[in-house]
Amino acid sequence: MTTLVSWCSRRAVVVVVLWLVALGGLGFAALHTGAAFRDTVDLPAADSTAAANLLRGNGAGGAEERVVARTPDSPVDTGTGRARLDDLAARLAALPHVVVVTPAGVSADRRTAVLTVRFDAPAADLGQPVADALAVVVRDARGLTAGAAGELAAMTAAAPDLGNAGIGLLAAALVLLVTFGSLTCVLLPVLTAAVSVGCALAVVTLLSHVMTVPKISTEIAALLGLGVGVDYALFVLTRYRQSRGEGDPPPVALAAAAATSGRSVVFAGVTVCVSLAGLLTVGMPFLEGIAVAAAVSVLLTALAALTLLPALLRPAARMRVGPGGNGGRW
């Protein structure tokens, strides 16, 4: 551990460039290939799955979407409202792979109706093009306010907003600034976490092409990666500052941080990944995708704390630190 951290410190420029190249390369690959997230929840060993397979074998196991339509100012089952609903039903029936569109009920105030759209294949087999075609028709309801629910509709939902991760990162920066009173102690953990999480999100996007990865995995990977990334970097940085405060030169302080906090980072990261691996025993591809995405984020943040952070510490080796001791407000 000490050898790795010391080498990264001595070759700071090389390590930083390698991380930036990895971030840029993975990001370009993710943007070029696009995402293939799937929110289909499969239960291979469940009785319901066996029943669905039996229905599918008899031609009745296709996807079923519910379209809810509401008129703004008239009953939906008579007059203008009925004409608009019939037009929507006809355009839904003209979609590829649609078997039948049937009415499923009208609300008590006669302004909302539900249509059931049955397809000839499961949502996972129909794919994104059919889901997008369904979304186009529903969004253009022509005088009606409409929405859809089902597996195909879920495939058209936008990826989770990562704005919460930005808020969390800002909050962490403020806490670090108040606690340590040093801009260096704020920037180093935040930069380390941000670069590693950026790489992790790109890897998760690429993994969505080879395994079932739900869209929510990106938000889980981002929030978990930022949390442990700042934490792991802070392990190493705090121990480094303590050694510097005791009068040790930067190389000695970094070696001490690697031998103590560096090993803690490895142990913590491995423990989290082993815990996440428990989701692989459930037998649900949906949960397996979440587990793999989270584990990738944790592993990359731990690696960044042991390689990128020592490299970033090289130009900050002369940071001002106070003497050791137990004094102070904290």
Question: Could you say which residues of the chain have pLDDT below 70?
Answer: 40-45, 48-49, 52-53, 55-61, 158-165, 316-330
| Phi, psi values for residue 68, rounded to 5° | -105, 125
Cβ atoms 269, 298 nearer than 8 A? yes
Same domain? 179 vs 296: yes
Same domain for 175 and 303? yes
Domain end point (choices 155, 186, 212): 155
139 and 185 part of one domain: no
- 215 and 189 co-located in one domain: yes
- Per the structure, the count of domains in the chain is 2
pLDDT tens-digit profile of 285-298? 888 999 999 999 99
Same domain for 176 and 126, yes or no, is no
pLDDT of residue 319: 54
Cα(first)–Cα(last) distance of the chain, in Å?
30
Q: Whole-angstrom Cα distance, residue 37 to residue 47?
A: 26
| Residue range of the domain that includes 110 | 47-155
pLDDT at 160: 61
Do residues 74 and 217 both lie within one domain? Answer: no
What pLDDT score does 6 carry? 83
Looking at the fold, whether 69 and 146 belong to one and the same domain comes out as: yes
For position 175, what pLDDT does the model report?
81
CB of 311 closer than 8 Å to CB of 11: yes
Residue 41 has what pLDDT?
66
- Can you give the pLDDT at residue 325? 43
State whether 83 and 19 are in the same domain: no
Q: Is 261 inside any structural domain?
A: yes
234 and 306: one domain? yes
**Residue 102 to residue 86: CA distance in whole angstroms:** 11
Domain endpoint, select from 122, 155, 188: 155
- pLDDT value of residue 326: 46
Whether residue 67 is found in the same domain as residue 200:
no
